[in-house]
């Protein structure tokens, strides 16, 4: 039997290489021939992830007989999307085999119930993870922890202010200083403050030249 191997990780901290050796060993022990290995680094709720999209395209052309995954949640965590995926695979005549539970046969009532139960648990786990993440972020905000990226400390506010006073655009300043435009705009308030301070310190037009002329000694002829 020709099979496709599929591995998915949510973040770079996880390792898809831990899934592939298990799937290769499973295919070899059962005498399956591997057509291709598909991988993704994306959330399971993203039904358009490139590796899975390529797999489903090849499945629609019946390039293999079954898809091997380590767990059902590697495919989808949304029960609705999982049902759609399983119906598509059934239409293509392609089976889904999970290393932890075996083949899911949607042609049988037991297989359908099995998929619904496992899919519901996977969706529940995803919601629990999302909820814990939100609660953790809210707790950190309550403690005054700054969220998001660290602010860059190498933005030359004074130089940016001088360039803005010369009527330079944000894009041209970004190109010259090699600092992303979005980063410059995030410090816009500081730049405008620096411009205001420079304007207050600058002498009125013509005032400097009048003082210089008054201080010059008379020329003896």
Domains and CATH numbers, the chain: 2-138 (3.40.50.1390), 157-203 (no CATH)
pTM for this model (two decimals): 0.51
Catalytic residue among 10, 25, 78, 186: 10
Q: 204 - beta bridge partners? A: none
Confidence of residue 89 (pLDDT cuts 50, 70, 90): confident
Lookup result for tokens 């046969």: 105
Q: What's CA 90's distance to the chain center, in Å?
A: 31
63 pLDDT more than 90: yes
For residue 183, what are the contacts with CB-CB under 8 A and spacing of at least 6? 152, 155
Task: State the CB neighbour count (10 A cutoff) for residue 71.
Answer: 14
Distance of CA 69 to the CA centre of its chain: 23
When pLDDT is cut at 50, 70 and 90, the band that residue 219 belongs to is very low
Mean pLDDT lowest for which of 35-39, 154-158, 198-202, 211-215?
A: 211-215
Give the residue, 124 or 56, on which the prediction is more confident. Answer: 56
10 catalytic? Reply is yes
Q: 180-191 b/e with 16+ CB inside 10 Å = b?
A: eeeebeebeeeb
What is the rounded CA–CA span in Å between residue 35 and residue 67?
10
In 10 A of CB 129, how many CB atoms? 12
The band of 87, judged by pLDDT with boundaries at 50, 70 and 90, is confident
């Amino acid at each position: 039997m020709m099979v496709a191997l599929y591995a998915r990780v949510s973040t770079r901290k996880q390792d898809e290489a831990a899934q592939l050796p298990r799937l290769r060993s499973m295919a070899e022990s059962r005498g399956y021939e591997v057509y291709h290995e598909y991988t993704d680094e994306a959330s399971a709720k993203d039904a358009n992830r490139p590796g899975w999209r390529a797999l489903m395209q090849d499945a629609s052309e019946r390039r293999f007989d079954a898809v091997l995954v380590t767990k059902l949640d590697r495919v989808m965590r949304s029960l609705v999307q999982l049902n759609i995926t399983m119906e598509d695979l059934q239409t293509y005549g392609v089976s889904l085999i999970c290393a932890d539970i075996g083949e899911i046969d949607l042609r049988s009532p037991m297989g359908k119930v099995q998929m619904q139960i496992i899919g519901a648990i996977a969706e529940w786990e995803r919601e629990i993870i999302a909820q814990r993440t939100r609660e953790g972020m809210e707790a950190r905000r309550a403690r005054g922890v700054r969220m998001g990226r660290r602010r860059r400390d190498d933005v030359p506010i004074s130089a940016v202010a001088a360039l803005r006073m010369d009527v330079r655009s944000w894009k041209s300043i970004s190109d010259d200083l090699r600092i992303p435009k979005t980063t410059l705009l995030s410090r816009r308030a500081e730049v405008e403050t620096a411009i205001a301070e420079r304007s207050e310190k600058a002498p009125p037009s013509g005032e400097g030249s009048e003082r210089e002329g008054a201080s010059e000694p008379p020329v003896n002829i």
